[in-house]
Amino acid sequence: MTLPKYKVIAQYIRAQLENSTWQAGFQIPSEISLANQFFASRMTARKAIEKLVNQDLLERTPSVGTFVKAHKAQSSILEIKNIAEEITLRQNQHRMVVLSKLTLIPNNAISFALSTPNSPTYKVVIVHYENDTPIQLEERYVNADLVKNFLKQDFTKITSHEYLSSVAPLTEADTTLEAVMPSEFLKKNLQMPDYTPCIKLSRITKSNGQAISFVNLYYPADRYKLTSHINVTDS
């Protein structure tokens, strides 16, 4: 069960990133110096670095060096961006308002999604504002057994997604995307005009095979679009 050398080197680098010894923008040691440090050949050190480049943790510039990437892999894992991060990137203010926080015995659809028939489930409803405009309504159900302290968090300070990631790293997600007409409740809380649809994004997230959370995210169609860029030339 001895780890291959390139994985040992990769783990070492990962550790420096995780405890922030090497911060974003930092130039990491060159292939040659890593190879020397670990008594490996340059190709082996290179393999370790390439692994992390593929994971979007590092960035290389020929003739210059290898650098720690600014962006965390976490949000790219999620494909659909973290709303808080997205708003901050636009240099706008992100603010959350908690509409409700409760414990319930879920109905069939949700207990099925969370695979927890008749066992208690937490529910929160949160509106996300970009400056003073509501831009997302989040309706989230969380497995109460697996994330006992969920309701104790202050969701005006930390997003539910951030909290859940810190407790149980996401390993799987099933996502569904629909266009729907908003309910009166949605329309009011998202301050929507008449006859305007919403994007409804539903997601079940799992950690190590166990369903952690089921969430419905509603975006007003008149002020929100989902975008993505795909590049298949490299990778």
Contact between 198 and 181 (Cβ < 8 Å): yes
Extract the tokens encoding 141. 């159900």
Q: Is 234 exposed, middle or buried (0-12, 13-18, 19+ CB in 10 A)?
A: exposed
How many binding residues for DNA (CB under 7 A)? Answer: 24
Alpha helix (H) ranges present in 90-130?
108-114
CB of 216 to a copy of itself, least distance (A): 13
Nearer to a copy of itself, 80 or 110 (CB): 80
Assess 225 for contact with a copy of itself (CB under 8 A): yes
Residues 33-62 that bind a copy of itself (CB under 8 A): 54-55
CB of 102 to a copy of itself, least distance (A): 28
How many binding residues for a copy of itself (CB under 8 A)? Answer: 38
In 3D, which of 91, 123, 87 has the Cα closest to residue 105? 123
CB of 4 to a copy of itself, least distance (A): 13
Assess 89 for contact with a copy of itself (CB under 8 A): no
CB of 46 to DNA, least distance (A): 6
Which of 2, 61, 91, 228 is in the footprint of a copy of itself by CB under 8 A? 228
Assess 31 for contact with DNA (CB under 7 A): yes
Give strand pairing partners of 120.
none
Query: 125-142 burial, b for 16+ CB within 10 Å, e for fewer?
Result: bbbbbbeeebbbbbbbbb
The DSSP result for 156-202, as a single string, is: TTS-HHHHHHHHS---EEEEEEEEEPPPHHHHHHTTPPTT--EEEEE
Nearer to DNA, 57 or 96 (CB): 57
Site of interaction with DNA (CB under 7 A)? 4-7, 28, 30-33, 39-44, 46-47, 60-66
